[in-house]
Amino acid sequence: MKRILIVDDDIYIGDMMEEVLKREGYAVSRAYSGTEAVLVLSGSKPDLIVLDLMLPGLSGEEVLSKIKGIPVIVVSAKLGVDDKVSVLLGGAADYITKPFDIKEFVARVAVQLRGDAAKAQETLSFSDIELCADTRSVTVANKELRLTRTEYAILKTLLLNRAQVVTKSALLDRIGSETPDCTESSLKIHISNLRKKLRDAGGKDYIEAVWGIGFKLKTE
């Protein structure tokens, strides 16, 4: 059974996360301050940590700097891009902004618990697009594509969520660990460049914009 440590001083949110994760079959432990979290981690090593930033005692950022070898999902009410960039560059595996959707939270936990080795060997495909995470290569209609780091992260996220629309905010959150410099204002440009490269290689559109919501892979 995978073990998850929740570090959050908000009793209501912590209880809600604990209930949801236990329902999914995870073992859950709690810490209510940064100081307590460090103490808990000195005696045990969970498989995943869910960490708030605004904590009594040591801050979430200070706790994060002391964590090695354990994936950390930061869950915080801080909305600024600088906050996200800071913690992602500081070692967090993912960042979720409060309030959040429960299904998305559970999905992100599951993704982190797959393990880096499993994720590195993923081969994702859609239509005649194939992405190999092991080599970070992308082919379209058997033609190799040269993508920027941000374009690659966007395409990978869309492939992982091929059956649904990915909102702009969710897309920014999910690619943040790979491209923390991508902002809402630059996202549209990166999407446009990616769509053109895919279209030039495959002769058709692969990504469609869902007005006012986000983006999805285009079904034939």
Break the chain into its structural domains and give their ranges.
Answer: 3-113, 118-217
pLDDT at 169: 86
Fold of 118-217: Arc Repressor Mutant, subunit A (1.10.10)
Quick check: 184 pLDDT over 70? Answer: yes
pLDDT of 99 > 90? The answer is no
Per the CB < 8 A criterion, the answer to whether 51 and 73 are in contact is: yes
CATH 3.30.1200.10 fits 3-113, yes or no: no
For the ranges 69-83, 107-121, 166-180, the one whose mean pLDDT is highest: 69-83
pTM: 0.54
